[in-house]
Amino acid sequence: MGILTKPINFLSEVKAELGKVSWSTRQELIGATIVVITATFILAVFIGMIDLLLSKGLSLLFK
């Protein structure tokens, strides 16, 4: 057994497993990306509003 036997065997197994993967189509990938970006934006706005309300409320409380 040579020193390169294990890495070469590993890479050939990785290639075989990647061949079994069910890859998304371009349209599915674009749709999922739009959903993630939209959800992230909505969540950022929501957290920003909560932060603003809490900041204003606490500043009024401690004045």
Q: How many residues does the structure list for the chain?
A: 63
Quick: pLDDT tens for 4-62. Answer: 888 999 999 999 999 999 999 999 999 999 999 999 999 999 999 999 999 999 999 98
| 38 belongs to a structural domain | yes
| 47 belongs to a structural domain | yes
Predicted confidence at residue 4, as pLDDT, reads: 82
How many of the other CB atoms lie within 10 Å of CB of 29?
11
Domain range for 62? 23-63
| 17 belongs to a structural domain | no
| 46 belongs to a structural domain | yes
**pLDDT above 70 (res 1):** no
CA atoms within 13 A on the CB side of 36: 6
Residues 6+ away with beta carbon under 8 Å from 32: 24
**pLDDT above 90 (res 3):** no
| 6 belongs to a structural domain | no
pTM higher than the cut 0.85: no
